[in-house]
Structure 1
Amino acid sequence: MTEAPDLPAVIDWRLAVSLGSKIAGEGPEVSRDEAAEVVAELRAGAARSTGLVRDFTGLDAPDGTAPVLVVDRPGWVQANAEGFAVATRPMVEKMVAKKPPTGLSLKVGSKVTGAEVGGLLGFLAGKVLGQFDPFFEPSGRLLLVAPNIAHVERELHVDPHDFRLWVCLHEETHRVQFTAVPWMRDHLFSEIRAISDTVEPDSIVEGGIERIAQAIKSTRAGGSIIDMVSTPEQREILDRVTGMMSLLEGHADVVMDDVGPTVIPSVKEIRERFTKRRKGVGTLDRLLRRLLGLEAKMAQYRDGAKFVRAVVDKVGMDEFNAVWAAPEHLPSKAELTDHDGWVRRVLG
């Protein structure tokens, strides 16, 4: 994987993928027959979930958009490196326009950034069960990480068939959200561009090590690297993105839990055990989650689900679906805990 031809390779993506794959490992040992069964069942579960999501939410995704891929951990690392390349391109373009890196600084710098990205992807690759990748052209793609799903279903001691369909319900909801609401991808990209526009190239390097050190210290108080590198203007944009992502995650959680009982006999047991697992396992795991901002993601699930349930209970699913009509109908971060405020603003 390489940068676009008109840009210097400021991140060594090959190193990132190689290192990330090594850190991630292969996952649990499974026989060839068991692996084939898991892959086939996940594909079938995703296909089955499309209709279940449509019937419950009223969102109708066009056929033939956003393929579903069942991948291993290295496959997830590769896919996300490709996504990172797209997401970081606006930032790279801005850096290069001001001061194109060359020679030894480019060579060394690309290795350093490649190693940093690889380390991050390697850590996350063992955690993610599934993910909608909005950066894949033309309409995104859904990734289901088979070894992680097999690992967690064993760890939780739950019915594997029920668990696989439960995961598919959540992840397929994301695929439906982005394909039934086509402006969502463009809106996300515009927010990424907006963040890039606020960053001064010199600030990326200046004080970088000190900022990371501060972020590590701040983990005791619940901070993260993301918190330390954002200016007030960037925080305003991040708050909008938080509102959008919380909606998407919470909406998917509501679907998996409300549709689940109709097709998944052990859904209550799965939810109870999985919720405990989301808190992290050991001290190091919790530290890394906090440092990388993953604790904030857990809050997204909780706040987003509460918002969706509160609005649907108040006005019904049809009225709630006004949230998908336009970017300005998305809840703000503040409205996640003030659903009446959103109802007054959007529904009058």
Structure 2
Amino acid sequence: MTTNGTAAGLVDWRTVERLTALIPAGPSASRSTRASSVAVLRRSAQEAPAWVARITGLNRAAQQVAETTRVSVVDRAGLVRASTRALRGLMEQVPAPRASEAVRLVGAAEVAGAMSVLATRLLGQVVPAAPSEVGAGRADRERPGDVKPGVEGARVGGWGDSASPHLLLVAPNVLAMRRQMDLDMLDLPAWVCLHEMTHAVQLAAAPWLGTYLTDSMQTVIGAVVEAAYGGPGTCGSTDGGAGTGELGPGVRRGRAMRIAVRAGRGRVLEGLTNFKERSEVASLAAALTFLEGHAEVVLDDVHPNRMPSVHRLRAVLSRSRAADAGIGPGPGLGALLLHRLMGLEAKEAQYADGAAFVRSVVARIGHEGLNAVWSDPGLLPTPAEIARPDVWVRRVG
């Protein structure tokens, strides 16, 4: 699809590619170290679905994940390619005014900055299946054991471009964290894979979830574009571009720079004055908060007899996540959009809020009661219910 007339046209993607090519590759490692890192991540990915099933009771969904989820162990460049393709695909579905080159360069700088944070900190990411293909059969699916043999230049797909979910495990970042924090070489990959496979099981348990997240993210992108640039037919020029429907020199000198400053400070949401727009953002943030919290609570059930260094992992990764504004094992693209571009890291989208909600619900009605949430998008907790899990329990009945 052409980017003209869409939010993707607000970004110079060639500049994004040039800027992200400067992202460091990660820690140096011998060939044998890289191979062993891939092997451990592969084994951990194979074991994780059964582990999630035992904890949550989502046996059928976990079995589906084990049979259909593709797994790729990638380097930072591979993660950037997948994430850029995913973000661009989302933005291509959102109408927007045509933009001048200056505006597109501003957009490229912000996207590249976000990708830099993502590429150096994200440990794993689950990419949902294409909405039109969910449940479709394909003979050429990769199995969890069919992980790419290396991490250099692995080919990976973007958001929703295949018939099955795709788990990306970022080997250099796992290795860097293990070295920096002096973590166990077996337990850290197992921890990362358990968290990410929980997200894959969530998607399998709720076939509507991938489409829901995609649609919600596109709505939020549209709201931000509307607030920042006006609608797709808006004339953005103030000195000679009247009637062209293009964001021209006037925007270049004024609005685009203000938007860049807001984005750099995580304050793009300040432009959202419409109550419905803010409600959409809050609902998406609540959904992502819940999904992260659910994955955190799965990790609560890991004990030293299964993962000897679990207490140290829990303490170290909790501190690391707080310092890195929530970027860690997580939903990847959702975290990128909400944390980096919209500055929600100190608001709704926090691991702690979602984990507190899920722990409270599980304490009241167990995982079996919580699992009702996967049957319908209307049962996702609202922003108010994240802080009042008792209200959600009463509503679900």
Give the TM interval when normalised to the shorter protein: 0.7 to 0.9
Greater Cα offset, 31-40 or 13-22: 13-22
> Could you report, residue by residue, the CA deviation over 1:40-73 in whole angstroms, capped at 9, with x for unpaired residues?
1101101100111112112224154331111111
Find the partner of 1:326 among 367, 370, 376: 376
Match of 2:166 in 1: 141
Report how far residue 281 of structure 1 moved.
7.1
Match of 1:225 in 2: 267
List gaps (5 residues or longer) in structure 2: 129-158, 232-246, 326-338
Assess, with a 3 A threshold, how the Cα gap between structure 1 residues 336 and 241 changes in structure 2: closer, same or farther: same
Please tell me whether the aligned partners of residues 110 and 260 of structure 2 are also in contact (alpha carbons under 8 angstroms).
Answer: no
- The answer on 1:67 being equivalent to 2:70 is yes
Counterpart-to-counterpart distance in 2, 1:214 and 1:43: 40
Letter matched to residue 93 of structure 2: P
After superposition, where does 1:109-120 map in structure 2 within 5 Å?
109-120=103-114
Please tell me whether the aligned partners of residues 286 and 348 of structure 2 are also in contact (alpha carbons under 8 angstroms).
Answer: no
Match of 1:176 in 2: 201
Report how far residue 25 of structure 1 moved.
0.7
List gaps (5 residues or longer) in structure 1: 283-288
After superposition, where does 1:258-277 map in structure 2 within 5 Å?
258-277=301-320
Please tell me whether the aligned partners of residues 129 and 145 of structure 1 are also in contact (alpha carbons under 8 angstroms).
Answer: yes
Using the aligned pairs only, state the percent identity.
38
> Helix, strand or coil for the counterpart of 1:263?
coil
Counterpart-to-counterpart distance in 2, 1:57 and 1:147: 30
Q: How many residues align?
A: 322
Assess, with a 3 A threshold, how the Cα gap between structure 1 residues 43 and 298 changes in structure 2: closer, same or farther: farther
Match of 1:80 in 2: 83
Assess, with a 3 A threshold, how the Cα gap between structure 1 residues 6 and 109 changes in structure 2: closer, same or farther: closer
Assess, with a 3 A threshold, how the Cα gap between structure 1 residues 151 and 6 changes in structure 2: closer, same or farther: closer
Counterpart-to-counterpart distance in 1, 2:324 and 2:352: 19
Match of 1:286 in 2: none
Greater Cα offset, 146-155 or 254-263: 254-263
Letter matched to residue 186 of structure 1: T
Letter matched to residue 25 of structure 2: E
Greater Cα offset, 242-251 or 139-148: 139-148
Match of 1:46 in 2: 45
Please tell me whether the aligned partners of residues 304 and 310 of structure 2 are also in contact (alpha carbons under 8 angstroms).
Answer: yes
Please tell me whether the aligned partners of residues 76 and 120 of structure 2 are also in contact (alpha carbons under 8 angstroms).
Answer: yes
Report how far residue 259 of structure 1 moved.
2.9
Counterpart-to-counterpart distance in 2, 1:291 and 1:192: 12
Please tell me whether the aligned partners of residues 12 and 113 of structure 1 are also in contact (alpha carbons under 8 angstroms).
Answer: yes
Counterpart-to-counterpart distance in 1, 2:191 and 2:13: 33
After superposition, where does 1:76-225 map in structure 2 within 5 Å?
76-91=79-94, 94-95=95-96, 99-100=97-98, 105=100, 107-134=101-128, 135-137=159-161, 138-196=163-221, 198=223, 199-200=225-226, 202-203=229-230, 207-213=255-261, 224-225=266-267
Counterpart-to-counterpart distance in 2, 1:258 and 1:26: 34
Assess, with a 3 A threshold, how the Cα gap between structure 1 residues 297 and 346 changes in structure 2: closer, same or farther: same
